[in-house]
Chain A
Amino acid sequence: MKERLVLIGNGMAGMRTVEELLKIAPDKYAITVFGSEPHGNYNRIMLSPVLAGEKTVDQIMINDLPWYAEQGITLHAGSEVVKIDRARRQVIAADGTTATYDRLLLATGSVPFILPIPGNDLPGVIGFRDIADVNTMLDTAQAGRKHAVVIGGGLLGLEAANGLMKQGMECTVVHLGDVLMERQLDPFAADLLRTTLEERGLRFLMGMQTAAILGEDRVRAVRFKDGLEIPSDLVVMAAGIRPNITLAKQSGIHCERGIVVNDTLQTYDPRIYAVGECVQHRGQVYGLVAPLWEQAKVCANHLAHYGIGRYLGSVTSTKLKVTGIDLFSAGDFNGGPDTDEIVLRDPARGVYKKLVVKENRVQGAVMYGDTVDGAWYFQLLREGTDISDFRETVLFGHAHMADAGREGHSVMAMSDDAEICGCNGVCKGTIVKAISEKKLFTVDEVRAHTKASASCGSCTGLVEQILAATVGNFDATPKEKAMCKCTEHSHDVVRKAIREEHLISLREVFDLLNWKTPNGCHSCRPALNYYLISTWPAEAQDDYQSRFINERVHANIQKDGTYSVVPRMWGGLTTPDELRAIADVADKYQIPTVKVTGGQRIDLLGVKKEDLPKVWGDLNAAGMVSGHAYGKSLRTVKTCVGSEWCRFGTQDSTGLGVKLEKMTWGSWTPHKFKMAVSGCPRNCAEATIKDFGVVCVDSGYEVHIGGNGGIKIRGTDLLCKLTTEQDVMEYCGAFMQIYREEGRYLERTAPWIERVGLSYVKSRIVEDDEGRRALYARFLESQKYAQVDPWAERASGAVDAHEFKPLAVMA
């Protein structure tokens, strides 16, 4: 017989947990759900847009009633549980319904705090919590009643007031303090917000204490402590929420401010779990929605008896859901004596940004008017990034990294046919439609369903914004993301295990780290293979079946299934003999397109797969080897002619380029790695947009790192200045090695440097002579195993011959 799971609370946290549970253990439990509201499960945080008339109740439903039946879940909607008999393991509802449980999940949410003042129980006095409250507000407005008073100028109160005003009521917000939304805003941002809302027609009574609500059969007016009375047909109490722990407390479950749970969301009764706003975890009570996504995942995992995953608490951020007002806040935005504030105020544009920084790490952020970079600041905050390298520009935003041309536009201002994802041609309207119709809540889900941000990823920020605007902000991405769905472990954890446990095969990784799939997936296998061969170059066996096709057949797959072939030309130099050989190959194998690449090489496009070994054989015979134009590896070293010919050249840039390429070719890296050497500061080889670039000057060599000219253009950072070619070689090898050892798979040097900081790289390469030499030595050691021409191996037929021949040809 199935075990019985009973859920009390048909809200977002509880049902999210059930959905997570159904995903991983669909048949484990017979599930019964009690909900005090007579509906299915809906997105509570979107009640504000419903009140404002921007959405309908149907549009915010997550699971309607038929869904429960389809899932085999017994739902008692409109049935409030009044008692838990823990001895009998039974719950009892007010209407007499009972249910017996093996596991009980409490998700009772929170209740509005009702001020203890005379008249607080009059008809027309409500909270702002559920569909019934919204309906009361809408009915009051439609009945032609004019005056509304909202008590509490916090997030919820302002959203309620804005909605009521949109419904035609004259609305006054009463606030005890002097600062609106003081839990999210500092005084300056709060003033900007108040000014904007006043211009729209809201009235504010600040520093006012409500004394009584007046009325006979329903509310008529509100009286304040100083004697002032204002007329009112509706009073919305939005002075805060409290975890709803009445039932838990009565049942003897240990509660403080909320129901106390451990890191597995278990209460003091081991059969009973709790999630959402009703819980208190590590002393913290959450009134925002983002943490519940993580809680649900962890809780479901334990309910399924998988026993992995712990909830470690969340950092939250807020956005006000009032159309046309851009506001963002996160973390400790007020700061204290030991913090700095970095502030930008531009009243004419209505823009205010403040970062609270402690020891070069973001502690909190408040933004008003321009919140485009909110997600970025939030990421810096969560990851504890050291911002010292870009502190002077941090307030100007992520623009220098973001895709050109789109920055600064709020997605909300974009029309539905605006293209968001340029790779896959996905418009804003398509994304919004998928989010609403398919009930998507995370960027990963949007990516899977629409393909937006699924290719190059540069529009991820825009997709996040659209998601937040459509369903609210749920993304409390954990600090350390799992590598893929096959594991809970992050890239860094896996790599550490490979190094410390001396793992040299995929099988050992899968077994030791409890991989959830028998042999990984297309995402983790190439990463693991790279970590293995880069950590243990002498011991780990390169697993070709775990490489993407391009690296398996050493050519680039094209859209029609043919391949392109790029022979290496050291430093961009070639000879008449090489060119003749390339021309002969193109003729002999009827290669349709011959093109010069951006990296100063010649690309032969449209080669049939079975011709590849023969093409390589001919090119080998002319002295050429693989150009690795297909690999997460050293690609090319681009050069200008330098002092040998150029009248401006200061050093032999071509010669140095050839030496660098001879040293580094064949090395595998986390992502592609490009180099260039320019002979003078005119920089004709464009060295300052390469992963490693050298700009020769009269007195020596400037070494630049971390540039790229791809999706997000990034100019290099200057690492140091050197005086000899040998030094350049050593720094180059050391830099490649530290990137090889510490960059995450598919992370180019540009984002890697932004993650770890230029100062860190300098400390390892420039300031630590011994460490640099050790890195350089490890690089050269690794190259002993890497510098084998893969084309020659395959042209000889000795390696992977099966790749290039059909299994059988049938008549």
Chain B
Amino acid sequence: MNDWHDVGCLDDIPPLGARVVRSAQGDIAVFRTADNDVFALRDRCPHKGGPLSQGIVHGQRVTCPLHGWVLELASGNAVAPDIGCAKRFPVKLIGDRVLLQVGAASAGGEEQHGAAA
């Protein structure tokens, strides 16, 4: 299950926005930055499970809509002093197509719960 899946074209995702991909592993949020970089994270904030896809994207970060945790899109890690990590998924752009790899969970692993929760 390490195939790359074509999940849509870049313009399906608004700049500084996100869309959801439904998968057997649960919802995955696919983000697009102002510079057209794409990132994919499990659509659950490590804090209280908020849908990250609904957050405000700024720079290379997203702010969870429920309680305002800020996560790095590249690593899935919460910005200090919060501690936690949302699982990342490999995603890449070929031309204007967005390709997502769902089978392999890359580093970041299971979410940890933050000490500063």
CB within 8 Å of B: which residues of A? 438, 448-451, 454-455, 517-522, 525-526, 544-546, 548-549, 553, 557, 559-561, 802, 806-811
Contacts and interface: CB of A to CB of B under 8 A. Distances in A.
Contacts of B5: 808, 810
Interface string B43-70: 0000011110011111101010111101
Nearest to A805: B19
Contact of A518 (B34, B100, B116): B34
Interface of B: 5, 7-8, 12-17, 19-24, 27, 30, 34-35, 48-51, 54-59, 61, 63, 65-68, 70, 81, 98, 100, 102, 116-117
Contacts of B116: 449-451
A341 to B, nearest CB: 44
A810 B51 CA distance: 18
A448 B81 contact: yes
B56 A546 contact: yes
Contacts of A802: 12-14, 17, 19
Nearest to A558: B66
B51 A561 contact: yes
Contacts of A438: 81
Contacts of B98: 807
B34 A807 contact: no
A557 B66 CA distance: 8
A194 to B, nearest CB: 44
Contacts of B65: 548-549, 557
A810 B14 CA distance: 21
Contacts of A553: 54
Contacts, number: 95
Given A518-B35, A559-B48, 11 more contacts: A449-B116, A450-B116, A519-B58, A521-B56, A545-B17, A546-B16, A807-B7, A807-B19, A807-B98, A810-B5, A810-B24
A525 B5 CA distance: 33
A810 B22 contact: yes
Determine chain A's interface SS by DSSP, over half rule: loop
Contacts of A549: 54-56, 65
Contacts of B27: 806
Contact of A809 (B22, B48, B61): B22
Nearest to A451: B116
B56 A545 contact: yes
Contact of A808 (B7, B61, B81): B7
Nearest to B11: A802
A607 to B, nearest CB: 14
Contact of B70 (A517, A522, A559, A811): A522
Contacts of A518: 34-35, 59
Contacts of A546: 16, 56
B57 A545 contact: yes
Given A449-B81, A519-B34, A806 B21 contact: yes
Contacts of A517: 58-59
A525 B102 contact: no
Contacts of B63: 521-522
B42 to A, nearest CB: 13
A455 B66 CA distance: 11
B20 A807 contact: yes
Nearest to A810: B23
A340 B51 CA distance: 57
A255 B117 CA distance: 50
A522 B55 contact: yes
A546 B34 CA distance: 12
B27 to A, nearest CB: 8
Given A522-B70, A807-B30, A548 B24 contact: no
A522, A557, A559: residue with the most chain B Cβ atoms closer than 10 Å: A522
A521 B58 contact: yes
A810 B21 contact: yes
Nearest to B27: A806
A454, A545, A560, A809: residue with the most chain B Cβ atoms closer than 10 Å: A545
Nearest to B56: A522
Contact of A559 (B8, B61, B66, B102): B66
Contacts of A451: 116-117
29 contacts: A438-B81, A450-B116, A451-B117, A519-B34, A519-B59, A520-B58, A521-B56, A521-B59, A521-B63, A522-B56, A522-B58, A522-B68, A525-B56, A545-B14, A546-B16, A549-B65, A561-B50, A561-B54, A802-B19, A806-B20, A806-B27, A807-B8, A807-B21, A807-B98, A808-B5, A809-B22, A810-B7, A810-B24, A811-B24
Nearest to A557: B65
A545 B16 contact: yes
A212 B70 CA distance: 64
A41 B24 CA distance: 54
